[in-house]
Amino acid sequence: MKKYIHLSLIVVVAIFISACSEKEEKSEATPENPVNQVKLESDIMTPEALWSFGRIGGVHVSPDQEQILFRATFYDTEKNKGNGEIFITPVEGNEINNITQTETTEFNARWRPDGEKIGYLSSRSGSTQLWEMTPDGSDKKQISDIKGGINGFEYAPNQEKILYIKEVKLDKNVHDIHPDLPKANARIETDLMYRHWDEWHNYKYSHVFVADYNGSEVTNSVDIMEGEKYHAPLEPFGGMEQVNWSPDSKEITYTCKKLTGKEYTLSTDSEIYIYDLESGETENLTQEKHEGYDKAAVYSPNGEMIAWGSMRRDGYESDKNRIFVYNFNTGKETNYSTDFEQNANGLTWSADSKKLYFTSDYHARFQIYELNLENEKIRQVTEGRHNYRSVEPAGDILIGSKQSMSQPTEIYSIDPATGGETQVSFINKNLMDQLTMGKVEKRWIETTDGKEMLTWVIYPPHFDKEKQYPTLLYCQGGPQASVSQFFSYRWNFQMMAANGYIVVAPNRRGLPSFGMDWLEQISGDYAGQNIRDYLSAIDAVKKEPYVDHNNLGAVGASYGGYSVFYLAGHHEGRFDAFISHDGMFNMESFYLQTEEMWFPNWDLGGPYWEEENQEVYEQSPHRFVDEWDTPIMVIHGEKDYRIPYTQGMSAFNAAQLQDIPSKFLFFPNENHWVLKPQNGILWQREFFKWLDKWLKK
């Protein structure tokens, strides 16, 4: 299964409820009778409790706007795997119906346009195929039998066709080249992008297909990208949001970066393509004036416009994601983000085609916003300490999925006029009722250059201000991803707090939602003001009487892992323990080991052998290991091809050779994250075992 599907499973996983055999009857759950009925042994978060949460995604409103379809995946720790289930709830809530209940994961659930069926993907038959069922979960039938299986689908509005995505083998492997050597185990590479994220290139490309659909069967498939050695959606994380129908069912729009090899790895220049079913012709809508990412185009309901997210600069993956709208009648293209210094994510149209709704982060919180195309004004709809992850209109209301540092994702209805919210889903109510969460405090801390920095401080449950607590500085990765109100299943602040730690999580320089100047300071200056921002945060909070300033730790992953490695050589005795996960250690070797070259070319300026880039490479943590003197734990996954595991191994070896107390936690089957339940629980156990040893003296 490709990464764009795998990631969607990750975003919505948790511990699997017992389902030993398929059941056709529906089960119901209300706030008083929740779906997730796990019983906890205490009111304090544990790794097992964290992996018990149901993780919600794939939220879709029914055509009659009366029901909500969504997916929640539950993990079985003993089986070490997850199982995705499909649920329905009325838009007013009160009732939750699990309409699948099988041992096979279901995903990519969609309402058929007439609302009489729900289509979804399942591997129950041995390969991933399209299935349908009635909205009460009965009459489940497989309706596709496509060789090799499919990875995503969407109904045409007129219900006469479907589109789907699947992989097509177009490149030769070693056995194709040398058929007389069937037992040979090798790769032959002549260009870049031979591996990406956590997979080596499998000689296949994800393509978009269109097929006939008669209400019960899928036939006559056509590859609309036939012969093209390009991926649509974009790898590794693009999903079905990047492939959409026009309202009249005559066109398909898709996102693609039609570059290969070295050119692909140097550029972020993806385009919006429109395929005409009648002529078989494909048009590039964004070829002119668009040099960066252009993604996820959606047609207006009246078919007169198409909107998408667009980044201005090629090679800059963290550029502002702007709202562009093209009018087919006038041929005019409009940038609606000229005066909006924020990102726009998940564009969705109002039924009258006069408004666009989306989510955007401002001051480390994701809210719902509304763009009125008639007056070209953008206004914020919701307020509060939370992150909205999606939004979709449903008549006079909006349906959104929301989370915070203190609550996993649930579904809410929102009044677009007032921003008033009502919780609709209660997948995790039972667990939430059993747990005591720590207080989350917002602080503005002065930085060394006289600016104000938003910093979250998370306190242990049952906090006693008369006591002293060991304290952790959390170093964010990305490097340009805000420390927002996310609910993480690895870097979970409530988990850290539950283990008796105060957590200091600053939105240091280089993070979005505080303006482009704040965001872009980090590029070319990894060890500059942003590192000083970290120290400003911990230095301010450690003055509190309840902070044990003699027992401070610093932890982080990716760029946060780099930050930990760098701080280990520059902390001037502040910290007593470090943990770095998937961090960059030797920036010169990292440059030649990573796969998306546009990233180091933008952030580091380019190759280390070019004279003008020497200053940034001098900030490499490996140059300062002679200053290391503090216990450090290093964690890395072997399938991390973004920051290869040799970076972590080198850092651990450097500590060992200097007799610095150190530990290396290595996961052979994990990538840049930790995704399997038993590995996730092991990660948490070893994480706190290390911190407790050095910070609870």
Q: What is the CATH number of the domain that holds 53?
A: 2.40.128.660
Q: Evaluate whether residue 388 is within a structural domain.
A: no
pLDDT class of 71 with cuts at 50, 70, 90: very high
Alpha-carbon span 126 to 122, nearest angstrom: 9
pLDDT class of 10 with cuts at 50, 70, 90: very low
Q: Evaluate whether residue 130 is within a structural domain.
A: yes
> 366 - beta bridge partners?
361, 387
CATH number at residue 565: 3.40.50.1820
Residue 37 CA: distances (Å) to CA of 17, 82, 187, 583: 8, 17, 49, 38
Q: How many CB atoms lie within 10 A of CB 14?
A: 26
CA angle 400, 406, 411 (to 5 degrees): 20
Residue 277 CA: distances (Å) to CA of 42, 227, 510: 59, 17, 44
User: Closest Cα partner for 568 from 675, 696, 455, 475?
Assistant: 475
Q: Is the peptide bond before 416 cis (omega within 30 degrees of 0)?
A: no
Give the pLDDT confidence score for residue 697 in this predicted structure: 84
Alpha-carbon span 137 to 100, nearest angstrom: 6
Q: Evaluate whether residue 34 is within a structural domain.
A: yes
Chain position carrying tokens 């972590």: 648
Q: Is the peptide bond before 47 cis (omega within 30 degrees of 0)?
A: no
Q: What is the pLDDT of residues 169-228, one digit of tens each?
A: 999 999 999 999 999 999 999 999 999 999 999 999 999 999 999 999 999 999 999 999
Q: What is the pLDDT of residues 411-458, one digit of tens each?
A: 999 999 999 999 999 999 999 999 999 999 999 999 999 999 999 999
> Per the residue annotation, which of 360, 401, 558, 650 is the catalytic one?
558
pLDDT class of 1 with cuts at 50, 70, 90: very low
Q: Quick check: 7 pLDDT over 50? A: no
Annotated catalytic, 513? no
Give the pLDDT confidence score for residue 34 in this predicted structure: 53
Alpha-carbon span 134 to 139, nearest angstrom: 6
Looking at the chain, the whole-number percentage of residues with pLDDT higher than 90 is 93
> Per the residue annotation, which of 318, 640, 650, 662 is the catalytic one?
640
Q: Quick check: 22 pLDDT over 80? A: no
Alpha-carbon span 176 to 197, nearest angstrom: 25
Annotated catalytic, 207? no
> 220 - beta bridge partners?
none
Alpha-carbon span 46 to 50, nearest angstrom: 6
Alpha-carbon span 139 to 275, nearest angstrom: 34
Alpha-carbon span 37 to 347, nearest angstrom: 35
Give the pLDDT confidence score for residue 332 in this predicted structure: 97
Instruction: Give the single-character DSSP code of 502.
Output: E
SS (H, E, C) 362-376: CCCCEEEEEEECCCC
Average pLDDT, the chain: 94
Q: Quick check: 255 pLDDT over 90? A: yes
Q: How many domains does the chain have?
A: 2
Instruction: Give the single-character DSSP code of 2.
Output: -
Q: Quick check: 31 pLDDT over 90? A: no
Residue 544: strand, helix, or coil: coil
Do residues 381 and 367 make contact, with C-beta atoms less than 8 angstroms apart? Answer: yes
Give the pLDDT confidence score for residue 37 in this predicted structure: 83
Q: Evaluate whether residue 41 is within a structural domain.
A: yes
CA angle 148, 154, 159 (to 5 degrees): 115
pLDDT class of 17 with cuts at 50, 70, 90: very low
SS percent in the chain: helix, strand, coil, step 5: 20, 35, 50
Instruction: Give the single-character DSSP code of 625.
Output: G
Q: What is the pLDDT of residues 426-439, one digit of tens each?
A: 999 999 999 999 99
- What is the Cα 567 distance to its own chain's centre? 27
- Average pLDDT of the residues in 623-644: 98
Residue 610 CA: distances (Å) to CA of 614, 621, 622: 7, 19, 19
pLDDT class of 35 with cuts at 50, 70, 90: confident
Beta-carbon contacts of 535 under 8 Å, excluding residues fewer than 6 positions away, are 448, 571, 574
Q: Evaluate whether residue 296 is within a structural domain.
A: no
**What backbone torsions phi and psi does residue 549 show, to the nearest 5 degrees?**
-70, -5
Q: How many CB atoms lie within 10 A of CB 37?
A: 10
Q: What is the pLDDT of residues 311-320, one digit of tens each?
A: 999 999 999 9
Give the pLDDT confidence score for residue 164 in this predicted structure: 98
Q: Evaluate whether residue 242 is within a structural domain.
A: no
Do residues 24 and 466 make contact, with C-beta atoms less than 8 angstroms apart? Answer: no
Do residues 334 and 324 make contact, with C-beta atoms less than 8 angstroms apart? Answer: yes
Q: Evaluate whether residue 588 is within a structural domain.
A: yes
Give the pLDDT confidence score for residue 94 in this predicted structure: 81
Alpha-carbon span 423 to 400, nearest angstrom: 10
Alpha-carbon span 18 to 328, nearest angstrom: 51
pLDDT class of 399 with cuts at 50, 70, 90: very high
Chain position carrying tokens 């044990």: 548
Give the pLDDT confidence score for residue 14 in this predicted structure: 35
- Average pLDDT of the residues in 603-629: 97
Annotated catalytic, 640? yes
Give the pLDDT confidence score for residue 518 in this predicted structure: 97
What is the extent of the structural domain holding 652? 436-695
Residue 494: strand, helix, or coil: helix
In this prediction the pTM is 0.94
